Amino acid sequence: MDRLDNTVRPYAWGSTTAIPTLLGTEPTGEPQAEMWIGAHPGAPSRTDRGTLADIVAADPEKELGPASVARFGPRLPFLLKLLAAGAPLSLQVHPDLAQAKEGYEDEERRGVPLDAPHRNYKDANHKPELICALTEFDGLCGFRAPTETADLLDGLGVASLKPYVDLLRAHPEDAALREVLTAVLTADPEEMSRTVAETAAACERLGGAYAPYAGIAHHYPGDPGVLAALLLNHVRLQPGEALYLGAGIPHAYLDGLGVEIMANSDNVLRCGLTPKHVDVPELLRIVRFEPGDPGVLRPEASPDGEEVYDTPIDEFRLSRYVLPEGAAPHDLTLPAPQILLCTAGSVRAGEHDLTPGRSVFVPAGEKAEVSGNGTLFRATVRV
């Protein structure tokens, strides 16, 4: 079992206080957006044996187990993070596995450099993800029913929104959503900037259901992504609740601290709320224009005290243990790799004492006994 030393990424949207507060350290005044916990080559966790990426590469079957290697290849299939949003992230979607492979092979064939700002596919993998709130957590997830969005936009009293309102009341719903998103992202930039400014002012004035979108517009004035955001469900998670983001589901995180887990990929197609490249044709190929409830997840408890966040994919499995003082130790040994992350209290994992924000890597088959008085998240795979 290896204690992990993890890198915090200073993205501009990050909170300056949430991760330091959890870790019990002094804020630096700079944004601290994500703590990466895993073997991603961009910022692998460090151990006394070297980086986790190097450890896994040296002996994948020993560290990951034969079943994981056979199923997912010789690398850790997931990346765990602490994510602290102090401002909205970009509005985005992720491809499914077939789309990722096709897109990656196409860009490789065309010789698009991996670090090119207009490159869409950094690898051939999909990127399903799960965010579990540690504090109240605001986000956008999936399309609202078009008629409900039409009513919401109509209530703003902005004349230039009328064409979108009319489109949203047309049928079928998927075609209506596609037409509106296409129109928003391909509109004349000057006209769109004026529309967004008027929309933002109306959202600010009306408050209530419009308040989250006023906040988004404050951070991204004139960005067409503000109107794209108005097509989506606003969700406020309470601590312990989670969202699963599958392929093609537009989403954005707005504010709060959470534990995030995802398949090990960098593939993102952006819809707005960003100065980065927005590839509209490719985006429209990937987005699933299906309205629906965002589907807030609550953990399902098992008899041994494990609370599992059930998702339909196999590259990761996230669960938590809320350990009461004086309880018998839990044996978490698995024939698969695990990362254990403490988020509250104090937890003993093998020979390691974990306080909030501290984590360990448990190789496949390694004895993993935990005890204490605190909350422990467990990240592993389904094999």
Residues marked active site are found at: 270
**The CA-based dihedral angle spanning residues 92, 97, 101, 104, taken in that order and rounded to the nearest 10 degrees:** 20
| Tokens, residue 60 | 């994948």
162: enclosing H helix or E strand: helix 162-168
- CB of 322 within 8 A of CB of 342? no
Query: Rounded distance, CA 311 to CA 132, Å?
Result: 12
- CB of 214 within 8 A of CB of 203? yes
Q: Are strands 7-9 and 2-4 parallel, antiparallel or unpaired?
A: unpaired
- CB of 42 within 8 A of CB of 1? no
Closest CA to 8 of 76, 80, 82: 82
Buried residues in 32-68 as b, exposed as e (16+ CB within 10 A): bbbbbbbbbeebbbbbeeebbbebbbeebeebbbeeb
Query: Rounded distance, CA 359 to CA 43, Å?
Result: 15
Closest CA to 205 of 151, 149, 157: 157
165: enclosing H helix or E strand: helix 162-168
Query: Rounded distance, CA 240 to CA 218, Å?
Result: 29
Let me know the angle formed at the C-alpha of 7 by 122 and 322, rounded to the nearest 5 degrees. 105
